[in-house]
Amino acid sequence: MSDTPILKVEHLGKSFGTHEVLRDIDFSVNRGEVISVIGPSGSGKSTLLRCINMLEDPSAGTIYFEGKALSYAPKDQSAFRARVGMVFQSFNLFNNMTVLQNCMVGVQVVKHGSKSEAEGLAKKYLREVGMYAYQNARPAQLSGGQKQRVAIARELCMQPDAILFDEPTSALDPEMVGEVLEVIKRLAEQGMTMVIVTHEMLFARDISTRVVFMDQGVIVEEGTPDQLFNHPQHKRTADFLSRYRQV
Amino acid sequence: MDSTPTTFFGWVAYLLNEFWPRFLAGTVNTLEIALVGTVLGCALGFVVGIVQSIKVDSHASPVSRALVGLLKAIVAIYVEIFRGTPMMVQAMVIYYGSAEMYGLDMNTFFAGILVLTLNTGAYMAESVRGAITGIDPGQLEGAYAIGFTHFQAMTRVVIPQAFRNLIPQIGNMFISSIKDTSVLNVISVTELYYVGRSVASSYYRFFETYFIISIIYLVLTFVISRLLRLMERKLDGARDYELVIDEGAEVA
């Protein structure tokens, strides 16, 4: 195993007009790590993920993938995204396709895989997320939790090196949160490299190798779940966590 | 037998009996022009609408950005001109203009299709642009996230969904096209209205003739609108889905 982090963010800054959303972010992800990013709404967590996946252009700083600075040429963007997947809060399943087609299309179009290869992968990962039975359904016919599990399967079909999760359970009602977290937890156990922006504190504590706390566009502190949840170094972190404890 | 009819429906039957081959020929011409014009016009509208909705990537090269800008300007001018002038006038300008300026002797039938195509394309372009911008941006991001290029995301995900949403509009265009072919009589295309005019004046039975013509137009548009509704339902896919029993799963 190489020592180079799979993803490395250096001095990342992002402004929308005069509004500074991210300031001087330094952050890296090693292979096999599961990193939870927590923090209040508007702290820049999602923007950080979106910058990493090039859905937003950073205003400052550099992002490295396997030691090389990201290239923003359209071709390189696609190649990078095929290797680092993203799961969204709003699922973003393709509405014009069935569940099975949603999972197959990436393999066929991006990786130029054969139809049978794509179908094999799609069925394998749909089985893994417990959605095999629903392969002929359309996204509109599924519940939120089911959609998110399909979205995860769609990413897995690309056999990515890492997956970014942008609040994967925030749009779900409490009963469905569990089924999605269960799937992510299983991926963690299998050693998938993941960065998860989440408000599920117990989940973050259970599955993360490292937790990052962000507030007002900066990383306030990071550490192991035990360090961050039980011995926070900053008052801001302690305040934020105490609000969750009361619930 | 030879006595002329005295009632309204008597005249209708009489005219139909005597002129049915001409009514039929006019109907076929109208339908052909409308069909070809709408299909080509919608295709043109899709191309133009897609061009108009191109968002230039800030990372693209200056050459491709300039090219896209030029293309957008050209299609914008086209849309403004053909939406901003009556189709009847366009028919005159194109048909007589091509003859006087370039000495082209355009077949009137062909000229009719050309005018209708350009007209339909201009209206359709705006609807297509609207339909594309109306698709949830999350659909694009979902496609980007698995490595699609912008082009792949558009052709595989966004445009198919925009197309589905545009079917009612395509139906609208088709129905107006069928009716609008009537203005092509100004360049002597023998479509339904042109036939009606000549039939009406042979016995001076205007009401009866145009009554027949109206019914034919109505039947055409009604059939077309039902067919498109059918297509819509087909594209939506089955309302039910079958659960698939997993035979490959390990028994827990």
Reply yes or no on whether the pLDDT at B207 is more than 70.
Answer: yes
Q: Write down the pLDDT at residue B249.
A: 59
pTM over 0.80: yes
Reply yes or no on whether the pLDDT at A75 is more than 90.
Answer: no
Percent of chain A with pLDDT over 90: 89
Q: Write down the pLDDT at residue A23.
A: 93
ipTM given for this complex: 0.91
As a whole number of angstroms, the distance between CA B96 and CA B187 comes to 8
Say which CATH class B8-236 falls into: mainly alpha
Determine contact, residues A7/A63, Cβ cutoff 8 Å.
Answer: yes
**Element spanning A33, H or E:** none
Which residues have a Cβ under 8 Å from the Cβ of A45 and sit 6 or more positions away? A37, A38, A39, A197, A214
Which residue of B lies nearest to A100 if distances are taken between CA atoms? B244
Q: Kindly provide the b/e burial profile for residues B171-200, where b requires at least 16 CB atoms within 10 angstroms of the residue's own CB.
A: bbbbbbbbebbbbbbebebbbbbbbbbebb
Using one digit for the tens of pLDDT, what is the confidence trace for B113-131? 999 999 999 999 999 999 9
The residues pairing with A221 across neighbouring beta strands, listed in sequence order, are: A213
Give yes or no for A161 touching B (CB within 8 A): no
**Could you give the count of Cα atoms lying within 13 Å of A92 in the half-sphere of its Cβ?**
26
As a whole number of angstroms, the distance between CA A184 and CA A178 comes to 10
A98 contacts on B by Cβ (under 8 Å): 237, 241
Percent of chain B with pLDDT over 90: 50
As a whole number of angstroms, the distance between CA B198 and CA B190 comes to 10
| Nearest neighbour of A155 by CB, restricted to B59, B146, B160 | B146
As a whole number of angstroms, the distance between CA A29 and CA A208 comes to 12
A159 contacts on B by Cβ (under 8 Å): none
| 3-state per-residue secondary structure call for B140-180 | HHHHHHCCCCHHHHHHHHHHHHHHHHHHHHHHHHHHHHHHH
Mean pLDDT across the stretch B42-49? Answer: 93
| Nearest neighbour of B139 by CB, restricted to A92, A105, A133 | A92
| Nearest neighbour of A53 by CB, restricted to B145, B152, B156 | B145
Q: Which of B39, B23, B40 is nearest to B191 (CA)?
A: B23
Q: How far is CA B13 from the centre of its chain?
A: 33
Q: Write down the pLDDT at residue A246.
A: 59
Q: Write down the pLDDT at residue B2.
A: 58
Using one digit for the tens of pLDDT, what is the confidence trace for A112-137? 999 999 999 999 999 999 999 999 99
Reply yes or no on whether the pLDDT at A45 is more than 50.
Answer: yes
B101 or A12: which carries more pLDDT confidence?
A12
Tokens of residue B116, six digits: 């209708």
Which residue of B lies nearest to A127 if distances are taken between CA atoms? B249
